[in-house]
Amino acid sequence: MGAVPVVAESSDGGVPAVEASHTGPAGVAVKADSVSGPAVRAHGTSGRGVWASSDTDYGVRAASKTSAGLRASSEESDGIQSSSTKGQGVAGSSETGHGVTGTSNGGAGVVGRSDTGNGGWFESNHGEGVRGWSKNPDHGAVVGINTGGGNGGYFESNTHEAIHAVTNSTTTAAIAAYQANPASNTAALYAKTAGTGLAAHFDGTAFAWDFVSNNGDCAEEFDIAADASAEPGTVMVLGDNAELRQCASPYDTRVTGVISGAGDYQPGLILDKQPDRENRKPVALMGKVFCKVDAEFGPIAVGDLLTTSPTPGCAMRVDDPTKAHGAILGKALRSFGRGQGLIPILVTLQ
């Protein structure tokens, strides 16, 4: 082990081994550089290993070209504990490695608290902004708590996942979301996309879920014939090459469903979305949807069975059950006495 330029010891728990201050307009109280070993090594048997504060700049600023800028470990408590009344509790950045690495065998690897700013701020140009690892099954690798109304954690990335979660456990999930307020009507997990892609994608051999939606029907996207009318509420039938077009004949056994999105109902679930393909529409195959109807072939009452009509894109009441087998679209949920219009129906293809 090489020589240590400065060695300071204190046996008094209330007296620091080293105390340095700088009162000038700029500069640092202590500056230490090292080519291969630690620039500063501090150990306290009862107090803090390092205590650093600044009125205008960082309390501690550490940089490294090949390893961790700052590394801290603890056997029983926090590896790093930092607080700030106005700025970041901890600001860590790295060009190629980890901005901040915190490891603990008992408590949290890193704890950051702030009264008005960020409890922790992590940036990286190549690696992870934050990487958490915990060996204790009762403690999280990264814990974020906000009691003032903001986010417990905020993660953002320009080119990769904002959060990448992996677990080797055979009994737990990589990500678990819980809504702990029994009076809340909000979701435990919320996903939204600003583009044309999916808000959520599930890829696996099997999965189970409790799915709740405020919208009406279960729909699936189909290819629509280029010359076909397919506005919401239109009754659709199978055409050539599995493309859909609006119905135009009575009791058509090729009936497929109703284009979703008319009236007050929106699709609650859409299957087989393919954003890169054009001329596709969601077709309600099950559930409640607003549908075009024509009462010229008989007034429609609540509960009447509906089928395709000669009026393009419209349903009508089933008058001849012998012709309706395989051509039933659903049941009327509202009466309709004359003319053409939209009414809510329950899609029950049969």
Whether the pTM exceeds 0.75: the reply is no
Looking at beta carbons, which pairs linking 14-19 to residues 24 or more positions away fall under 8 Å? 16/51, 17/42
How far is 70 from 67, CA to CA, in rounded Å?
A: 9
* Least confidently predicted of 96-110, 160-174, 188-202: 96-110
- Closest CA relative to residue 142, chosen from 178, 100, 171, 180: 100
Sign, CA dihedral 98-100-103-108, equals negative
- Between the CA of residue 295 and those of 17, 226, 246, 283, what are the distances in Å? 93, 29, 18, 23
Query: At a CB cut-off of 8 Å and minimum separation 6, what does 134 contact?
Result: 104, 108, 109, 140, 141
pLDDT confidence bin for 1, thresholds 50/70/90: very low
How far is 306 from 320, CA to CA, in rounded Å?
A: 11
Task: State mean pLDDT over 200-207.
Answer: 71
Beta bridge partners of residue 93, listed in sequence order: 123
* Least confidently predicted of 3-12, 149-158, 242-251: 3-12
Query: At a CB cut-off of 8 Å and minimum separation 6, what does 308 contact?
Result: 235, 237, 247, 249, 250, 251, 252, 255, 315, 316, 327, 329
CATH 1.20.1090.10 fits 217-348, yes or no: no
pLDDT one-digit tens code per residue, 284-339: 999 999 999 999 999 999 999 999 999 999 999 999 999 999 999 999 999 999 99
3-state DSSP call for residue 136? coil
| More reliable by pLDDT, 328 or 22 | 328
3-state DSSP call for residue 167? coil
Task: State mean pLDDT over 117-146.
Answer: 71
- Closest CA relative to residue 89, chosen from 117, 66, 64: 117
Percent of the chain whose predicted confidence (pLDDT) is above 70: 68
Sign, CA dihedral 219-221-223-228, equals positive
CATH 2.40.300.10 intervals, the chain = 217-348
- Closest CA relative to residue 89, chosen from 124, 64, 52, 63: 52
Task: State mean pLDDT over 56-67.
Answer: 70
